[in-house]
Amino acid sequence: MTPERAVRAVVADGPGTTRRLLAQVLADDPTIAVAGEAADGATALRLTRTLRPSIVLLDMELPGMGALEVTQVIMREVPTPIVVLAAGSGAAQVEEGLQAVRLGALAVLPRLPARGAPEFRRAAGHLASTLKALAQVTVVRRRWLAASAPAMPAPRPWPRARARVIAIAASTGGPVALRGLLERLPEALPAPVLVVQHMTAGFLPGLAAWLDSATRLEVKLAVGGEPLRAATVYIAADGHHLEVDARERAVYSRRAAVGGFRPSADVLLDSAARVYGASAVGVILSGMGIDGLVGARAVRDAGGVVMAQDAETSAVFGMPGAVVAAGLADVVGTVERLARELSALARRD
The pTM of the full predicted model, rounded to 2 decimals, is 0.88
User: Which parts of 135-255 fold into alpha helices (H)?
Assistant: 174-182, 204-212
- 266 catalytic residue (yes or no): no
Mean per-residue pLDDT, 250-278 = 96
Polymer length in residues for the chain: 349
Long-range contacts of 230-234 (CB under 8 A, 24+ apart): 230/188, 230/189, 230/190, 230/191, 230/192, 231/187, 231/188, 231/189, 231/190, 231/192, 232/192, 232/193, 233/182, 233/192, 233/193, 233/194, 233/195, 234/192, 234/193, 234/194, 234/195
In a domain, 84, yes or no: yes
pLDDT, one tens digit per residue, over 66-99 is: 999 999 999 999 999 999 999 887 778 888 999 9
Structural domain including 200 reads: 165-347
pLDDT, one tens digit per residue, over 14-33 is: 888 899 999 999 999 999 99
**Of 54, 171, 279, 286, catalytic:** 171
Q: Give the chain's domain count.
A: 2
pLDDT, one tens digit per residue, over 155-205 is: 556 565 689 999 999 999 999 999 999 999 999 999 999 999 999 888 999
pLDDT, one tens digit per residue, over 30-64 is: 999 999 999 999 999 999 999 999 999 999 999 99
Q: Are residues 84 and 184 in the same domain?
A: no
In a domain, 28, yes or no: yes
**Of 13, 29, 59, 198, catalytic:** 198
In a domain, 203, yes or no: yes
In a domain, 39, yes or no: yes
In a domain, 268, yes or no: yes
Q: Are residues 333 and 219 in the same domain?
A: yes
Q: Are residues 215 and 125 in the same domain?
A: no
**Of 59, 266, 291, 330, catalytic:** 291
Q: In the predicted model, is pLDDT for residue 148 greater than 50?
A: no
Mean per-residue pLDDT, 95-110 = 91
Q: In the predicted model, is pLDDT for residue 257 greater than 50?
A: yes
- 13 catalytic residue (yes or no): no
CATH of the domain at 202: 3.40.50.180
- 198 catalytic residue (yes or no): yes
